[in-house]
Structure 1
């Protein structure tokens, strides 16, 4: 009995069964070394090895203890003192573990009738919660780590929020932020709003601003709500490829898929199908109203209102498509034609040399949004098409530099060119690289700046560190070519003309 008792005590103390023997051998070696019959270096190495083995043994034992608790207490339900029933399933659990949940801690510590009950029926009002999510959530109370499957994270988050499991909620949020893709972003955004994960919601919005124009798909466009699309289209941070007309085209495809959600062709076919569908609606209306003024289209008015139409009608081909489509109210187009005509007159006759100071509000709301994808390293030179009030701006990427040039003499251009000695533009340049799922790898920005250029002058606007560059490289620019109109002056002029 004494021998058996000593073994039990030794195990309870956390000591391996061979520890005493190892200590005895160590003692013998020490004595041997003192007597000159052993090698002290090898003895020390042997002791270190034995200590490492001892530590590994303890770690292994702790790990096996965690598994034992999960298997015996949770999965097998041994020594259970409470039964939880929900969604047609039962769990034999333990109050001491359930009290880690804020939901059950309040239930058991207060004057609720459930505090003295051994069987509790849970009502599950949230349709996102299923039996599998509850199984993982309850199981998390009996183990240190939970492996979260991204395809199950929304259901698990719902269960964790109901049970008030703060650690599991945080882990769900981190999993969501790491697994945002075109397939998950809308579900994550909506769930983050429902369950109060603001950091996840912000991350999803950033992903959409960066990838809306490059990761378009039938599934994504069907999932994007009107309110979410309005946020994206109104933002100056939207990564636009190539020009604002491409934003209009994307909205046309999106609106068609919202209205005809049963359509399941390939994304390459969407534009053709959308044009045919809207043409049929035009024939029905007989040209009396635009589509957005109809009963079907009115819900989409707030989204299309955030298009920057002044940069669409500045290109003849784009203006003709917009007029043909008849999606937009005619008053919108009349207003923007008038606005651009006055801006042109100011540039030509009032010698408007462009913005002279940073007006962030004006830049955020009215700047031209455009972008380009550089598939691989090399030399590139391009201009974004459209009438830009006499400023033909060439953009060059070469030798890891990005250069702006005001072209007046050397290269042919499609629009008229101002010969004013100096012209200014307000701009912000952003560069970014993304992995295959749309996650940003690296980014650079100039911030908002004013650049003044003389005739044919060029200016380096960004010097890139080659170590930070990954291709394909996306370049996005915001431009403001004319200074904001002085409302008070224009109104005074109108009053003078009327008098």
Structure 2
């Protein structure tokens, strides 16, 4: 039913009338046109002017209705009471709400009541939110402050106002930043806004590692952190060890929420706290096996340890921290040992068939920040089964090179004629709020490289680039083991043809 119906009752007794748009006007006098010709004849240009429409801004009916019926409460036929406040409203407008429409049309006792006491079970709903939501029934547009959107969303969900719920969702997606992302995510989870949840997760995957923030780490709960750490879309800077380090800082803040200091001091204080606990306990129990550590087990489970123990300094740090249970590390050491043996003796030259599930679950995550435009060349540290991969950014090209003989290398280098590599490379730059300004991705790719071969990964359009530029890569250097593929292992006495 139109919002403008019912206005006539407000204007009863006045010598005015309503046109089709609801604006009040005095009746126009009736003028009988005279015969053409003589002094009563109008020039043709005057006729054309009479037929030309003229724009004139009149008082908005929506504003009039909002002021007269909602704010002033004229001709109210129902009173709503909630949270110690009263609103003099109109059933015809309230029926836009699914909540009130059901109440008034059914056999509920409230359907004939003039005063209704609303019970508010949701702590996010306050009187200011109810004022906005009730007012939205009397106007065409609603301005929603990002700081108030969660409260308004809660009230809109209670009153079943789909249009307002959608507008709240759009407001949240437009204003995701370091201060709002956690509250928006939790609210979207509570009220079923999947698109807002997805936007918040996307923001966190992009910013958790690239723009570390103490307050954000304090606010992130274990459930959402678990989702972030297990994702292959996590923008990692620099290598997997940095994911472990970030989790160590996060765990320290969860257990010491009153800590207040600069981000540069956080890791030092976290390490000192862990050292003090170990010395006071006087035992070798890994921290995750203690009562304080147990809640963090599901999160640490998703660290890709196979890419941490491949670096000597990182492996030693894991042993020193004594956070992880030793059986976790033993299993990974065994897995990596067999992967190395397959590479050496089974001629495993890397993945040759598309296996996106394996890639998403087990790929190496690494990244690099390019502060300004220029020439860069780097490699990520760690034992990569003789695959020394150099990455170059120059003249707006990103190039992979399989280094075998042309450049010095600190570790063993494979001399196999060809090596296969699965990869995905992503580029992104962000504004001050963490929103993506520009981004590019290669998607999941397979490439075969011969010795010292170069391969152009991406050719960038300079007009789309802004710095600093973040480069994030996922790599898979080896094929899945037979155990993970589900293949039947060969019998011990079987023979194999040597090629």
Q: TM-score, normalised by structure 2?
A: 0.89
Q: Where does residue 143 of structure 2 map in the other structure? A: 147
3-state SS of 2:310 partner: coil
Distance 1:72 1:343, change over 3 A: same
Q: Where does residue 226 of structure 1 map in the other structure? A: 222
3-state SS of 2:56 partner: helix
Give the one of 51, 54, 62 matched to 2:53. Answer: 51
Aligned 1:300-315 pairs, distance under 5 A: 300-315=296-311
Q: Where does residue 37 of structure 1 map in the other structure? A: none
Tell me if 1:241 matches 2:243.
Answer: no
Q: Where does residue 389 of structure 1 map in the other structure? A: 385
Distance 1:124 1:8, change over 3 A: closer
Distance 1:264 1:23, change over 3 A: farther
Q: Matches of 1:256 and 1:157 in 2, distance apart? A: 33
Q: Deviations over 1:43-78 (max 9, x none)?
A: 96x668x723xx333xx33x2x22121111111111
Aligned 1:82-481 pairs, distance under 5 A: 82-481=78-477
Q: Figure out how many residues of one structure are paired with residues of the other and give that number.
A: 476
In the TM superposition, residue 23 of structure 1 has moved relative to its aligned partner by: 13
Q: Where does residue 5 of structure 2 map in the other structure? A: none
3-state SS of 2:467 partner: coil
Unpaired runs of 5+ residues, structure 1, are: 35-39
In the TM superposition, residue 145 of structure 1 has moved relative to its aligned partner by: 0.5
Q: Deviations over 1:346-370 (max 9, x none)?
A: 2123222111111111101100001
Unpaired runs of 5+ residues, structure 2, are: 1-12, 495-499
Q: Matches of 1:409 and 1:468 in 2, distance apart? A: 36
Conserved in 1, the CA contact under 8 Å of 2:422 and 2:446?
A: yes
3-state SS of 1:151 partner: coil
In the TM superposition, residue 414 of structure 1 has moved relative to its aligned partner by: 1.8
Of 178-187 and 337-346, the range deviating more from structure 2 = 337-346
Q: Deviations over 1:67-120 (max 9, x none)?
A: 121111111111111111111111111111111111111111111111111111
Q: Matches of 2:227 and 2:203 in 1, distance apart? A: 13
3-state SS of 2:148 partner: helix
Q: Matches of 1:413 and 1:231 in 2, distance apart? A: 36
3-state SS of 1:354 partner: coil
In the TM superposition, residue 268 of structure 1 has moved relative to its aligned partner by: 2.1
Distance 1:471 1:495, change over 3 A: farther
In the TM superposition, residue 466 of structure 1 has moved relative to its aligned partner by: 2.3
Distance 1:93 1:334, change over 3 A: same
Q: TM-score, normalised by structure 1?
A: 0.89
